[in-house]
Structure 1
Amino acid sequence: MSSKEKPTLGFSIPCQELKKVHAQMIQFVFFAVNGTSGTRIKTRKRNIAAPLDPAAFADAVVQIYLDNAGDLELVVKNIESSELNFSRYGDTFFEVIFTGGRTQPGTIKPDEGERHPYSVLDCQPKREAILPSVLYIQKILRRRPFLIKNLENVMQKFLQSLELFEENERQKLAIFTALAFSQKLSGLPPETVFQALLKDNLVAKGLVLSFVTVFFKEYLVENSLDDLMLLLKRGKMEDKLLDCFPTAKRSTECFSEHFTKEGLLALVEYNEKKIFEVKLKEMKTTLTTQIAEETDISDVIQTAKQHVKDAKLPDVEVVRILWDMLMDTFQWSGKNQQQNANSILRQVNTWSGLLNAFCTSGKLELELMYKVQIQCYEDAKLMKLFPEIIRSLYDQDVLAEDTILLWFRRGANPKGRQTFVKALEPFVNWLEEAEEEE
């Protein structure tokens, strides 16, 4: 070998070049292990995200249904013993329960993959057919309470898409929703469920009205009307029942007609009572303000008559309201009882024309006496004023002599009867003597 030739190791790469490559490899390994700071680099598994595969999850759940022929007792046992990732695929899980398989993202259309025939939407639209699914979900939620949010998501999606379902499917969803609340499904929030319904296009097509009608009828099978109203209040729907009607039918008359036809008379009566109370409150507020501001009595009478007409208030109720308002606007001052007594009698005299405008029969006059008696019985400050108030109402032609005598002889209210009859006796004797003289 010539002294000028470079030795080799039997490869085509000269030894010098091989050493250079070897040095580079050593340097690479050094930095890979130690880095610039000399600290070992650690790979954190939690930073490695597993790919999403809801289709495989849905197929696995469907297979459990198929393997157990839809027996929900067996299904729930197999679900519990499985290693399925419910925390990641909760929405998909409930889609399988409701529709039998996975739905396409953002829709209610079936996606590719296995399906089972034991879903909520595949059963009969009857409570006995749907209730087992509700109880099955309840068992799942007790073990995995975090899934309630996923149930809420899926229900919201379906309720906001009612128009995409067939009529019998909407009926099943309504029955399921009623049973879910009736069975107090763990943590399901009424507000988010009900508010999902109030979409203008769904209301306009009458779909919301049909849904809530089925819901009400089903819920009231095992619950009282008070329970229903409490549920609607929690769902912020108590004052929005008319909003479920299409705009053209959004009236008290249509409300009463529809739910009476559907056999929900108790709901109709409740609504009428609620409307009555609202109008009653409006009347009290308006008239109390007018009386406090000393509005001309003719204007107050006109306002009262208009409210009575609009609210269709019974005459007896009007008399009670008017007396309450006269007393409510009176302000007690200091400890001088005589001054207070004089002020009350002045109040009665001033507004006697208002009372006279509505006490148009002996029956209504007697009702006014009952009202005065009860208020004097319940308010110790007024107890001694009873005979003077009655005398004042007589002097102002609000109460007739026959009415007072009838009350005295056999018409007094049981509350404090003996006390008030005895207190009024001198005035009654005077009336009877005057009558004999005539």
Structure 2
Amino acid sequence: MHNTDVYNLLWLWCRLLEFLPLNRRSEEALAASFGARGLAELLRLHRAQASQEARRDLTAALQDDLADDKPVRDLIQDLRDMAHKHAIPDHEVIAIIWQCVMSRSEWNKKEELLAEQAAKHLRQYTPLLEAFAQSAKAELALLTKVQEYCYENMNFMRAFSKLVVMLYKTNVLSEEVILKWYREPNSTKGKMMFLDQMKKFVEWLQSAEEESESGEDDD
């Protein structure tokens, strides 16, 4: 579908709303009414546009709150409220958090100093990240974002493993998700470059995992 067609349909949507009683302009009523009239595609486009706008609004609100140095506990509550209102899942919220947090710093151009600077910068936001990393899907979304960021910003290439280890030590990323990321293929750019960086840490995780399983067997 061409952009012109999309805009025309959305314009039609807005016009059609005017013909519905005020008490029937809820999403549920609109879905039923428009579905019955063969306008399911229009409803889908409306929801997609509303979803994009909600994500832009959440991003802008978080950027403003970060600029105002709002306490993390308030950031968490505000994000939860907005995410709940617009049905934005945690794995998408955490990707937005990463994007906003990483855009807030001027990075050192020396690679040997950058990894420590980035870890220190991120550490202050780990409670915020942890609040939305409550599922394997959300954790994996964050880990994938870290991977993308380090690949796309060349100075961060050597910082990847340090950032992942820091997120593990601060309980943002779990052992299970890191091992899943390491063992299973994904199409995100840069993974092959970071596998070697992560090898020693993953071997340590695997060793700890095996010791834990052995202990359970002994019991």
TM-score (norm 1): 0.44
1:424 alignment partner, one of 198, 202, 210: 198
| 1:230 partnered with 2:4 | no
Distance, in Å, in 1 between the alignment partners of 2:126 and 2:180 is: 21
Distance, in Å, in 2 between the alignment partners of 1:377 and 1:225 is: 33
Q: Deviations over 1:129-176 (max 9, x none)?
A: xxxxxxxxxxxxxxxxxxxxxxxxxxxxxxxxxxxxxxxxxxxxxxxx
Is the CA contact 2:147–2:160 (under 8 Å) kept in the aligned structure 1? yes
Structure 1 pair 411–355 and aligned structure 2 pair: CA distance change class (3 A): farther
Tell me by how many angstroms 1:394 deviates: 0.5
Tell me by how many angstroms 1:297 deviates: 0.7
Where does 1:63-212 land on structure 2 (aligned, <5 Å)?
A: none
Distance, in Å, in 2 between the alignment partners of 1:402 and 1:247 is: 49
Q: Which residue identity does 2:125 align to in structure 1?
A: W
Tell me by how many angstroms 1:357 deviates: 0.9
| 1:349 partnered with 2:123 | yes
1:306 alignment partner, one of 68, 81, 84: 81
| Structure 2 unpaired stretches of 5+ | 213-219
Tell me by how many angstroms 1:404 deviates: 1.2
Structure 1 pair 280–369 and aligned structure 2 pair: CA distance change class (3 A): same
Q: Deviations over 1:355-402 (max 9, x none)?
A: 111111223222221221122222223222111110110010111112
Q: Which residue identity does 2:139 align to in structure 1?
A: E
Tell me by how many angstroms 1:437 deviates: 5.8
Identical residues among aligned pairs (%): 29
Distance, in Å, in 2 between the alignment partners of 1:383 and 1:238 is: 48
Match of 1:130 in 2: none
Give 3-state SS (helix, strand or coil) of 2:139's partner: helix
Q: Deviations over 1:274-317 (max 9, x none)?
A: 11111111111111221232211100000111011100112322
Structure 1 pair 411–357 and aligned structure 2 pair: CA distance change class (3 A): farther
Match of 1:172 in 2: none
Structure 1 pair 292–271 and aligned structure 2 pair: CA distance change class (3 A): same
Structure 1 pair 437–345 and aligned structure 2 pair: CA distance change class (3 A): same
TM-score (norm 2): 0.83
Is the CA contact 1:225–1:266 (under 8 Å) kept in the aligned structure 2? no
1:369 alignment partner, one of 143, 147, 167: 143
Is the CA contact 2:58–2:79 (under 8 Å) kept in the aligned structure 1? yes
Is the CA contact 1:319–1:358 (under 8 Å) kept in the aligned structure 2? yes
Give 3-state SS (helix, strand or coil) of 2:184's partner: helix
Give 3-state SS (helix, strand or coil) of 1:390's partner: helix
Match of 1:391 in 2: 165
Where does 1:272-351 land on structure 2 (aligned, <5 Å)?
A: 272-332=47-107, 335-351=109-125
| 1:271 partnered with 2:46 | yes
Structure 1 pair 293–331 and aligned structure 2 pair: CA distance change class (3 A): farther
Q: Deviations over 1:244-269 (max 9, x none)?
A: 54433333333322211111111101
Structure 1 pair 278–300 and aligned structure 2 pair: CA distance change class (3 A): same
Give 3-state SS (helix, strand or coil) of 1:360's partner: coil
Q: Which residue identity does 2:129 align to in structure 1?
A: L
Tell me by how many angstroms 1:330 deviates: 2.7
Tell me by how many angstroms 1:342 deviates: 2.9
Paired residue total: 211
Give 3-state SS (helix, strand or coil) of 2:171's partner: coil
Distance, in Å, in 2 between the alignment partners of 1:319 and 1:338 is: 27
Q: Which residue identity does 1:273 align to in structure 2?
A: A
Distance, in Å, in 2 between the alignment partners of 1:271 and 1:312 is: 15
- Indicate the structure whose relative CO is greater, using CA pairs within 8 Å and at least 6 residues apart: 2
RMSD, aligned CA: 2.5
Match of 2:26 in 1: 251
